[in-house]
Amino acid sequence: MTDAAAQALPGQQPAYPALRSAISHSVLMAVSFVMLYPILWMLAGSLRPADDLFGGNTSLIPSQVTIEAYKDGWFGLQISFGKFFVNSLIIATLATIGNVLAASLAAFAFTRLKFRGRAIWFALMLGTLMLPYHVTLIPQYVLFLKLGWVNTWLPLIVPKYFAVDAFFIFLMVQFFRGIPRELDEAAMMDGCSPWRIYTRIMLPLSLPVLATAAIFSFIWTWEDFFGPLIYISDTGLYTVQLALRSFIDSSGSTNWNALFAMSVLSLIPIFLIFLFFQRLLIEGIATTGMKR
């Protein structure tokens, strides 16, 4: 914080920004602690003995440190957790690609192309967001069973290539509408095809929203456990989330330490993904700013 203050001082402005920056930093750091507490607590939980976990223990410092839980957890399910990480990585990557591609195509159609029935399709698209998934579960299961996709990853991946998650379409529609029309109208005058305008103008200009969609898409697929729960039965095909759930048995005993340990590990890949894509999100602005 003193760094920031020292840097701000030599400028033409008075000491006021330094104070402001200090205040901002203190606010942000205070909020940060509230945000970080659960992760720290989980970390502590993964390191303390099982009988020390409950009984109103809010301290972040374990009375006794043991890394048994990590060993227990990693090899706990007969197949090592490494396998589940690879599985989740593959599924989330493929799902992210599909989501971003398919949703951006649909969003381009909704924002830049005119065709009969557009408003109706748009309303229907939004409508698909509203139905709770519990009631479509069984018809959907029957459908995938008939296709022979049960106990494969296909039900978790293929739908994303058909943009079934309307969230992403709607998200991109809102951002595409913020991109000035003059740009593609000019390109259209030059005889560019819609495909060229989509690939050469829209996509490069919407890097922030594409990065946002990629972040959500990856993280949500990674975290999804209901889909894998219903469709995956072979332990070898388990995702990380499904494997984590295997530690929990509320009717009997749950290996909480191992659960916490593996939960901590499971956060690492998505955290890295977040860090990676947020760079794109930030760089995106430079591009948009300059092209205008």
Partner 1 sequence: MTMETATNGWEEGRRPPSRFAEGLRRNLPGYLFLSPWLIGFFCLTLGPALGSLYLSFTDYDLLSAPRFAGVSNYVHMATADPNFGAAMKVTFLYVALSVPLKLAFALAVAMMLNRGMRGLPVYRAIFYLPSLLGASVAIAVLWRQLFAADGLVNDLLWVFGIEGPSWISNPNYSLYTLVILSVWQFGSPMIIFLAGLRQIPADMYEAASIDGASKRRQFVKITLPLLTPVIFFNLVIQTIDAFKAFTPAFIVSGGSGGPINSTLFYTLYLYQEAFGYFRMGYASALAWVLVAIIAGFTALSFLSTKYWVHYDD
Partner 2 sequence: MTTARIDRRQLLAGGMGLALASGLAPMARAAGTPIRMVWWGNEERARRTTEAIRGFEAAQDDAVAVATEYMGWDDYWTRLATQVAGGNAPDLIQMDYRYLFEYVGRGTLLPLDEYLGNALDIEDFGKENLASCSVDGKLYGANVGVNSFGMLLDRAAWEEAGIEAPEIGTSWETFAERCAAFKEATPRRRFYATADTSGQGNSFELWLRQRGKELYTEAGELAYDADDAGEWFDYWAKLRAAGGCVPADVQAQFKNSLETAPITLGTAATDFAFSNQFTGYQAVNKASLDMTALPVLPDGAPGHYLKPSQMFVVSSASKAPEAAVRLAHYLVRDPAGALILGLDRGVPASPAIREALLPELDEAQKKSVAYISAIGDLAGPLPPSPPKGAGEAYAIMLKISQEVAFGMIDPAEGGRKLVTESAASLTR
Q: Which residues bind partner 2 (CB under 8 A)?
A: 50-56, 76-78, 83, 86-87, 89-91, 137-138, 141-142, 145, 148-154, 157, 229-230, 233-237, 242, 245-256, 258
Asked if 106 and 124 count as a contact pair (C-beta separation under 8 A), the reply is: no
Task: Provide the greatest CA pair distance for the chain.
Answer: 72
CB of 238 to partner 1, least distance (A): 16
Angle made by CA atoms 281, 198, 211, in degrees to the nearest 5: 15
Nearest to 208 by CA among 141, 149, 129, 289: 289
| Torsion sign, CA atoms 162, 167, 173, 178 | negative
Binding part of the chain for partner 1, among 54-62, 73-81, 82-90, 230-238 by CB under 8 A, reads 54-62
CB of 94 to partner 2, least distance (A): 8
Task: Select the binding partner of residue 275 from partner 2, partner 1, none (C-beta < 5 to 8 A, by kind).
Answer: partner 1
In sequence order, what are the residues at sequence separation of 6 or more whose Cβ sits closer than 8 angstroms to the Cβ of residue 39?
A: 264, 267
Contact with partner 1 (CB under 8 A) among 52, 68, 93, 128: 128
Q: Which amino acid is at 256?
A: W
Contact with partner 1 (CB under 8 A) among 79, 94, 97, 105: 105
Residues 185-244 that bind partner 1 (CB under 8 A): 188, 194, 198, 206, 208-209, 211-212, 215-216, 219-220, 223, 225, 244
CA contacts within 13 A on the Cβ side of 280? 17
Task: Select the binding partner of residue 10 from partner 1, partner 2, none (C-beta < 5 to 8 A, by kind).
Answer: none
Asked if 140 and 79 count as a contact pair (C-beta separation under 8 A), the reply is: no
174 sits near partner 1 (criterion: CB under 8 A): yes
15 sits near partner 1 (criterion: CB under 8 A): no
Contact with partner 1 (CB under 8 A) among 91, 171, 237, 243: 171
- Token pair, residue 52, equals 């020390």
Q: Which amino acid is at 71?
A: K
135 sits near partner 1 (criterion: CB under 8 A): yes
CB of 67 to partner 1, least distance (A): 18
CB of 289 to partner 1, least distance (A): 5
134 sits near partner 1 (criterion: CB under 8 A): yes
Task: Select the binding partner of residue 51 from partner 2, partner 1, none (C-beta < 5 to 8 A, by kind).
Answer: partner 2
Task: Select the binding partner of residue 19 from partner 1, partner 2, none (C-beta < 5 to 8 A, by kind).
Answer: none
In sequence order, what are the residues at sequence separation of 6 or more whose Cβ sits closer than 8 angstroms to the Cβ of residue 137?
A: 230
Integer Cα distance of 32 and 265 in angstroms: 20
Residue 142, number of CB atoms within 10 A of its CB = 11
Asked if 114 and 178 count as a contact pair (C-beta separation under 8 A), the reply is: no
Contact with partner 1 (CB under 8 A) among 2, 12, 58, 63: 58
- Beta-bridged to residue 79, according to DSSP, are 77
Binding part of the chain for partner 1, among 30-38, 69-77, 80-88, 227-235 by CB under 8 A, reads 30-38
CB of 88 to partner 2, least distance (A): 11
Nearest to 108 by CA among 193, 234, 223: 193
